[in-house]
Amino acid sequence: MGSADEVVCTERLRLRPWSTSPADLARLEDLYGRDEVTGWLGGPPTVSMAELVARWHALHEADGCHGCWAVQRPDGVPAGTLLLKPLPHGVGEVEIGWHLHPDSWGQGYATEAARAVIDRAFGLGLPEVYAVVRPGNDRSLAVCRRLGMAPLGRMRHWYDVELEAFRLMAPAVVE
């Protein structure tokens, strides 16, 4: 089910694994060094960018449906990260998330990349996908709505903070 170097393509974007190349690490440092990004994620990463990349590769190795992709823009620059991973303290629920560099907001990249990852995951048999968003993160809430995700209300179920939860079910398969 998917290999670690698997690439997902959309009309404008190429989703590929983050690497530890100097260019990727510099872009990750820039992305996760910005308050306007990490403020919505509960703070900056507590590990190095190389360690983050290693953890993301391990995530994909453990289950090929999951992953943290670099969302490459048409000019080749990574716009940010698109992730699909198990929610903590859950019973198998899988979370989709998007972290874009502010220089790539307002282009529709998060929604386009998320649609491709969701389609891929549903194709691999994932029955449903969740998103959790801090109240007030209007841009992220708008991505959930654009994706057609159903609001489940505020909950503190998976993370120790109140979050707006959303769910999208896989389309029913007609035999």
Q: Report d(CA 151, CA 141) in Å as an integer.
A: 10
Residue nearest to ligand COA (CB): 108
Q: Which of 98/122 has CB closer to ligand COA?
A: 98
Measured torsion, CA atoms of residues 30, 82, 77, 145, in degrees rounded to the nearest 10: -100
111 binds ligand COA (CB under 6 A): yes
Choices 36-44, 46-54, 57-65, 116-124; region in contact with ligand COA by CB under 6 A: 36-44
Between CA 44 and CA 72 the distance in angstroms is 22
Residue 32, token pair as written in the block: 């996760």
49 binds ligand COA (CB under 6 A): no
100 forms part of the interface with ligand COA (CB under 6 A): yes
Task: Give the burial class of 110: count Cβ atoms within 10 A of its Cβ; 0-12 exposed, 13-18 middle, 19 or more buried.
Answer: buried
Q: Which stretch binds ligand COA (CB under 6 A): 44-52, 70-78, 139-147, 148-156?
A: 139-147
Q: Does 98 bind ligand COA (CB under 6 A)?
A: yes
Q: Rule CB under 6 A: say whether 159 interacts with ligand COA.
A: no
